[in-house]
Structure 1
Amino acid sequence: MARVEITSFGYLHGAEPDARIKLDLRHHFRDPHVNPELRHLTAHDQAVRDAVMATEGVEQLVQTAVDMVAAFLAGPRQEEPVTVAVGCAGGRHRAATAASVLA
């Protein structure tokens, strides 16, 4: 059985990781960083997780990623690892929350 690896990252912090599936949350999903109450929090804080998951389209994106992983695992190269990299600008809010939910 292949290994599934999920990572989150911030595009502002260097090169994006190598991954079979990449989800870029920068442009289509609200950034909690713009909210002064959430700016200094992270995905470890419930208020951030709630804000990210309440954003229209995020739950559907996570479910689509689950389906994509399942498709790769069902393919002819089942022994190869499937890496999913979820990125946003800073990597502390959107990407970390979505990666956590995906995991």
Structure 2
Amino acid sequence: MAITIISFGYLHGPTPAADFAQDLRSFRDPHVDPAMRQLTGRDQAVITKVLGTPGVPAVINTLALACAARSGYGDRPVTAAVGCAGGRHRSVVVINTVARLLREQGYDVTVQHRDLARPVVTR
């Protein structure tokens, strides 16, 4: 069963159509650190910061389990949307990590980063 996971930023538009969505805005945003603001969830410093945030590893495991469980029902693909404020830091790290975990278990996973290429949001 195919699984699609989409990262997005709430400040760039509505939640993408999905079977379920996860809001990461309650977790510390790397954007507040000027040294990380222009980086993305593909940069090691951001990855380390997000994965070291209390609660994030549990969210990653829960998302991976939910995607895997949902893929076992019916014959249509599963779509999950994971959002943060700008869609460049937390959501990118989380979905890339979830995708890796699912692929290691043999799932066919597509990753889409809706807002990764957008400019940093001014707040």
Q: If the length of structure 2 is used for normalisation, what is the TM-score? A: 0.77
Is 1:6 the counterpart of 2:8? The answer is no
Whole-Å Cα distance in 2 between the matches of residues 69 and 43 of structure 1?
Answer: 21
Question: Of the two structures, which has the highest relative contact order with CA contacts closer than 8 Å and spacing of 6 or more?
Answer: 1
Letter in 1 for 2:23: D
| Cα-Cα RMSD | 0.9
Whole-Å Cα distance in 1 between the matches of residues 43 and 70 of structure 2?
Answer: 32
Corresponding residue number in structure 1 for 2:45? 47
Whole-Å Cα distance in 1 between the matches of residues 40 and 68 of structure 2?
Answer: 29
Q: How far apart are residue 58 of structure 1 and its match?
A: 0.6
The percent of aligned pairs where both chains have the same amino acid is 48
Letter in 2 for 1:57: G
**Aligned positions of 1:55-94 closer than 5 A:** 55-75=53-73, 77=74, 79-94=75-90
Deviating 4+ runs (over 3 angstroms): none
Q: How far apart are residue 23 of structure 1 and its match?
A: 0.8
Q: If the length of structure 1 is used for normalisation, what is the TM-score? A: 0.91
Is 1:99 the counterpart of 2:91? The answer is no
